[in-house]
Amino acid sequence: MHAEVQNLFIRIHLLSQAQENNLKIYDMLPELERQGYKIGEREVKLEMEKLNQLNFLTSHGDEYSMTGLGIAEFKDIKKMLKELCDEVLDISDQDKTTSTKA
């Protein structure tokens, strides 16, 4: 995956995780690696800082938490991702096929 595309997915993943817990670089690195991202500690920090600059996350020492703007942005992202997944993965077509066979 191209680095710019991967970074976008990583930022979405970080926002998703920040919705539930404060983020720490050293906690997120193994989580992102487990998800299949090829990333180092420096890159995780850069992506968190990018989200901080956009005011989606706020920094508290070595932890980052989601801001109100981040919550609103993630809500919009989830809506767009659902539409994109439906289109790219043809989920709605599969559902139609399954329901017509029943």
Left, alpha or beta for 87 (phi > 0: left; psi -120 to 50: alpha)?
Answer: alpha
pLDDT digits (tens, 9 = 90+) for 19-63: 999 999 999 999 999 999 989 999 999 999 999 999 999 999 999
pLDDT for the residue numbered 70: 97
pLDDT digits (tens, 9 = 90+) for 53-78: 999 999 999 999 999 999 999 999 99
CATH number of 3-101: 1.10.10.10
The larger pLDDT score, comparing residue 77 to residue 97, is at 77
- Going by DSSP bridges, is the β-strand pair 63-66/23-24 parallel, antiparallel, or unpaired? antiparallel
DSSP H or E run through 57: strand 57-60
Calpha distance 90→98 (Å, rounded) = 12
